[in-house]
Amino acid sequence: MSHEIVLTGIKPTGMPHLGNWVGAIRPTVELSRQAERQGFFFIADYHALTGLKDGKQLRRFTYSVAAAWIALGLDPDRIILYRQSDIPEVFELSWILACFSPKGLMNRAHAYKAQVQKNQESGESDLDSGVNMGLYTYPILMAADILVMGTHRVPVGSDQQQHVEIARDLAQYFNRQYGRDIFTLPEALIDPASAVLPGIDGRKMSKSYKNYIPLFDAPDAIKKLIMRIETDSSQPGDPKDPDSSTIFQLYRVLANPAQTESLARAYASGIAWKDAKEELWARFDETFREPTRRYQELMANPAELDKIFAQGADKARAQASRIMTKVRRAVGTR
């Protein structure tokens, strides 16, 4: 195998925000540009269905997440970009892997355990309340995504590490049973540099706290959010501490070292909060102006995205069917 296969899935559950960009999109796009790797990137639309039961929304998020990743530098001519639902081999393998998954392994998976704990805390008598089988077997579908392409590395956030380990376990059970190395054993690739960003209220930037800065909103709306970032009560002229300032933490991820250095000096000499926010807005606008244009262009032209998905599905299915031929022969359905 000449190229190392790098694969990751993106769940289409909403518009990406600045925290997603710093923590996931930017490092993954950089990785996708490395010549010695073959990248597989897909929109995990059937994973989203475990929680999202609105067809219109799921369809819209699928396009908008793909458009966002392309606008931010993922190049569909270099990597393989596809929709999970376009690859029937994934769902076939998912069943086969389910037959190798001890039930207890699923009991220990994070998303399921979190729901059980929530039920416990709320005094719910049925501890499995709110758990559908899609959520329960989520890690099996994810293992199929990974193993069906012969993946070596899976760039993910640390919350997904357990799922990649489950995929590896299932691959090992299978290989052991059939005495052959049919599946490549995948490894999670966790970017240590992927920082956690504060949101406009200073807590971790997150959809659930509603404190995030979206990437592709109208400029006025984004500027308004930036002007609302919480600060302490120090006045213009008072020296300010960059390390405890949300504005500074956000600025740093958008700026080059010289710019960061210069804002740190401005903090020491008492820059007004309002001016610091203006500086942050300028960096944000410069970084995302062109991607926003490209994003809007793609969203206005879904036929272009459909073409990209179709091309990606062709290439991804070619790879998947090579591996599935071996799998079917091993289990005896062919």
Please report, in range form, the residues annotated as the binding site for L-tryptophan.
Answer: 145
Closest separation in Å from C-beta 280 to ligand TRP:
28
Confirm if 61 and 16 have CB atoms less than 8 A apart. Answer: no
Which of residues 8 and 319 has its CB atom nearest to ligand TRP in the complex? 8
Cα 96 from Cα 249, distance rounded (Å)? 46
Report the alpha-carbon distance of residue 75 to residue 88 in Å, rounded: 24
User: What single letter denotes the amino acid at residue 115?
Assistant: Q
| Smallest distance from ligand TRP to CB 268, Å | 40
Residue whose token pair is 């805390």: 121
Q: Minimum distance between the CB of residue 28 and ligand TRP, rounded to whole angstroms?
A: 10
Q: Per CB under 6 A, which region of 68-76, 112-120, 138-146, 191-199 contacts ligand TRP?
A: 138-146
Q: What single letter denotes the amino acid at residue 257?
A: P
Among 8, 28, 38, 211, binds ligand TRP (CB under 6 A): 8
Shortest Cβ distance from residue 227 to ligand TRP (Å)?
Answer: 31
Binding part of the chain for ligand TRP, among 156-164, 176-184, 263-271, 314-322 by CB under 6 A, reads 156-164
- Phi/psi for 122 (5° steps) reads -90, 5
Q: State the nearest-atom distance from the C-beta of 10 to ligand TRP, in Å.
A: 6
* Number of chain residues interacting with ligand TRP (CB under 6 A): 13
Query: How far is the C-alpha of 278 from the C-alpha of 315, rounded, in Å?
Result: 45
- For residue 279, state whether it binds ligand TRP (rule: CB under 6 A): no
Q: Residue 157 or 202: which CB sits closer to ligand TRP?
A: 157
Element (H, E) at 319: helix 302-331
At residue 192's C-alpha, the angle toward residues 137 and 196, to 5°, is 80
- Pick between residue 13 and residue 231 the one whose CB is nearest to ligand TRP: 13
Binding mask 206-235 for ligand TRP (x = CB under 6 A): ------------------------------
State how far the Cα of 205 lies from the Cα of 18, in Å rounded to an integer: 8
Give the shortest CB-299-to-ligand TRP separation in angstroms: 22
Q: Which residue is nearest to ligand TRP (CB)?
A: 9
Q: How far is CA 134 from CA 39, 50, 137, in A?
A: 27, 5, 5
Q: Do 38 and 6 meet the contact criterion of CB atoms below 8 Å apart?
A: yes
**Contact residue for ligand TRP among 145, 267, 298, 319 (CB under 6 A):** 145
Whole-angstrom distance, CA of residue 66 vs CA of residue 77: 14
Contact between 170 and ligand TRP by CB under 6 A: the answer reads: no
